[in-house]
Amino acid sequence: MSDKSVIERVTRETKIRLELQRGEGKGDITTGVPFLDHMMVTFARYAGLDMMLRAEGDLRHHTIEDVAIAMGAAVGEVISQSAARYGERTIPMDEALVQACVDMGGRPFYRGPLPSDLYDHWMRSFADNAKATVHLRVLRGIDRHHIVEAAFKALGLAIRDAMHDTGGGAVFSTKGPVSLKVK
């Protein structure tokens, strides 16, 4: 766990630089994908994370996916061992109603779907790299923009709740601290 995470991901398809830390939810975002910029600013605000993100990519799909990979890894780094670990929020946005439930306990799993293959894939890539369980339920909605945006807001608030420090340094698990070393 670290107070700040700096992720650089470079492939033949994308170049990503992400700086992330707990804060006021300020986002300085440039990805070349306007809707992704909007969702990352939204996520930062609702999760209470200060974020500087720069991304370049050959295809929209590659940029969206690699931003999710970097974001998941960064969020996984800044959550403390004594965090509440769990979070749940339901967000209404016009006709859309979306619920997000998270467990930041180290087991990657995603269940959706969202009505956008690109942003459903963002959620899966985020969950895998944050080592988080993420369940999204679209309870109502017609407009894909509203549904996806409500999902990012709900996910952000659920993560904000999960990142809340329980105090005293105690690990919020019956297992206690988990250690895994790869040699």
Tell me the domain boundaries of the chain. Answer: 4-163
Reported as a pLDDT band with limits 50, 70 and 90, residue 165 is: confident
For residue 173, pLDDT beyond 80: no
94-141 tens-digit pLDDT: 999 999 999 999 999 999 999 999 999 999 999 999 999 999 999 999
Cα–Cα distance for residue pair 152/52, rounded to 1 Å: 17
45-69 tens-digit pLDDT: 999 999 999 999 999 999 999 999 9
9-23 tens-digit pLDDT: 999 999 999 999 999
- Residue 27's closest CA among 7, 2, 47? 47
In percent, the amount of the chain with pLDDT more than 90 equals 86
- The hierarchical CATH code for the domain 4-163 is 3.30.230.40
180 or 137: which carries more pLDDT confidence? 137
